[in-house]
Homo-oligomer: A and B are copies of this chain.
Amino acid sequence: MKKVLLLGATGYVGSDFSKLLSERFYEVIRIGRSELEGRSISELVDSWGSHAADFLINSAGYTGKPNVDACELDKANCLHGNAVLPGTISKVCQQLGLRWGHVSSGCIFTGRRGDGGGFTELDSPNFSFRQNNCSFYSGTKALGEEILRDDPSCFVWRLRIPFSNLDSPRNYLSKVMRYDTLLEAENSLSYLPEFVSACIDCFSLNAAPGIYNVTNPGAVKTSEVAQMIQNAGLTKKEFRFFETEERFMALAAKTPRSNCVMDSSKALAAGLKLRPIEEVLRESLANWVWESKVSA
């Protein structure tokens, strides 16, 4: 039975990792916050090394609740969770010779490439502290990737706006259904069950470590998602949209949002299973389970 060390097992992404790893017969060793903080690198090497795990997954991170605006009020913790912690894990894993993966984010990009395509793993982040145009959250995620750049045994998995068929305050589809007014924008998205499965596949398929855009192929506009929700009969409400991004920023947001299109062809070429975004959106909405009926 293969062993996996899992950080952040109680989060929105981590709990899906925890469930799927168990279903795939991995032994999951959950590393809590208390086992992580205040420990030196050598203490962590001893402690984690004692498990003789096959790999490690870091799904711990600071996302801000209910949304990214919250990070502006807790900058130090945000920086710690998204940039310092990955660097610490990297050092420990390098000393242990342990392969590992880090849940990063596509939110370090904005828009599309100059040639109209989605951003690839070779493009430099264009929504980061270094571009001076980003939220504090995006800045810290980009710094996290910068810190991991030279780690030869690390997968950097870029998640982008996760959703599934299970209603949740963290599910993009739930957010779209519940927001009073929406911002029209074009985005690539990650269907959460396929995201976690693809990440685990990186190890089982022996993919080459490095950055992967783990997003479902394609992109959708907010209005298209709203239309699909109506077509699925999940709401009768008329969706309203902010007239401009400026109105959105003035009325509803404290810090700029990333909206971007990602290219997932590297992930697909590596054998990771990510179906087209329209298909998984339609499927999620057809199999929608309201939060009151989601089992814990």
Q: Interface residues, chain A, CB within 8 Å of chain B? A: 37-39, 75-77, 79-80, 83-88, 90-91, 128-132, 139, 143, 146-147
Contacts and interface: CB of A to CB of B under 8 A. Distances in A.
Given A77-B87, A79-B147, 5 more contacts: A75-B87, A76-B86, A77-B84, A80-B84, A129-B129
Main secondary structure of the interface of A (DSSP, over half): helix
A87 B91 contact: no
Contact of A76 (B88, B129, B131, B132): B88
Nearest to A134: B130
Contact of A139 (B39, B75, B80, B129): B129
Contacts of A77: 84, 87
Given A129-B130, A131-B132, A132-B132, A79 B83 contact: yes
A88 to B, nearest CB: 6
Contact of A79 (B87, B91, B131, B132): B87
Nearest to A146: B75
Contacts of A139: 129
Nearest to A41: B77
Contacts of A80: 80, 84
A63 B90 CA distance: 21
A9 to B, nearest CB: 20
Nearest to A133: B130
Among A84, A85, A90, residue most surrounded by chain B Cβ atoms (within 10 Å):
A84
A207 to B, nearest CB: 25
B79 A143 contact: yes
Contacts of A147: 75-76, 79
Nearest to A89: B76
Contacts of A79: 79, 83-84, 87, 143, 147
Contact of A38 (B37, B75, B76, B91): B37
B76 A91 contact: yes
A125 to B, nearest CB: 11
